[in-house]
Amino acid sequence: MTTPLEARRIVVLSPHLDDAVFSVGASIARAVREGTDILVVTAFAGVPGSANESGSWDRSVGFAHEGEAAVARRREDAVASGILGAVPVWLPFREEQYGEEATDDAIWAAIAPHLSGADAILVPGFPLDHADHRRLARMTLSRVDVRTRLGLYVEQPYATWADGPPRAGVLSQWVDEDVAWRPVPALGRDRRRKWRACLAYRSQLRRMLRDSPNLPWRVGRYERRAGGESVAWTSSRTVHR
Ligand SMILES: [Zn+2]
């Protein structure tokens, strides 16, 4: 099997502004270095024009209004994407903290045009503890063309709190139980570029480090043990409807 990361164009689906970079930033850096176009599509990138009061998470990191949080967090994502050489796309859907009312059909209609011409798609795969992450993964697995190369990525930092190694779990309706997560080869400079990009998410890191000061160490240890960032590549054999 050829490595799908050597494709010409890959779309990484990110639930929120930071998930893709925290989870597969080094893989993105490596792919870009090797000439692949990487589009990072963030589904729940918020509503910049909103004057609504901020949701619980956004309030906890110091934003008073929904729009203020969306603008600041998109700006952070633009900086991180620039460091990695990826192109960011932000869709105006709300995170769970705001009780997004858009249907899956409406969200998918906004995602689908960005997938055209993609040689591979990456989507969150494990542990899918967050409702928005599960929603995006389920939506993609149930709707994407079965011939598309689909990679399920291990989500950071969530995986460091998960019990045991990655598994199909809530995706077992679509993916064989024996689908295998494998480390994505990356060089030291790809990993360093990832960490530089992660630092761009200042508002998020402030809160994460307050809750869990040793978080970067935990993620680093997880990835060292796994041999790197992990992706399970599915094929039409392993994905069923
Ligand atoms: Zn997230």
Centre of ligand 1 from the C-alpha of residue 1, in Å: 30
3-state secondary structure of 32: helix
The two structure tokens encoding residue 48:
């910049």
* Residues of the chain falling short of pLDDT 70: 1-6, 236-241
pTM to 2 decimals? 0.95
d(CA 131, CA 85): 29
Interhelix angle for 188-198 vs 19-33, to 10°?
A: 140
pLDDT for res 108:
97
Q: Which residues contact 235 (CB under 8 A, 6 or more apart)?
A: 149
| Ion ligand 1: residues, CB < 5 A | 15-16, 19
pLDDT for res 82:
98
pLDDT for res 2:
41
pLDDT for res 101:
86
d(CA 124, CA 80): 19
Centre of ligand 1 from the C-alpha of residue 19, in Å: 5
What counts of helices (H) and strands (E) characterise the chain? 8, 7
Centre of ligand 1 from the C-alpha of residue 234, in Å: 22
Nearest to 76 by CA among 28, 15, 138, 17: 17
pLDDT for res 6:
66
Centre of ligand 1 from the C-alpha of residue 116, in Å: 24
pLDDT for res 4:
63
pLDDT for res 19:
98
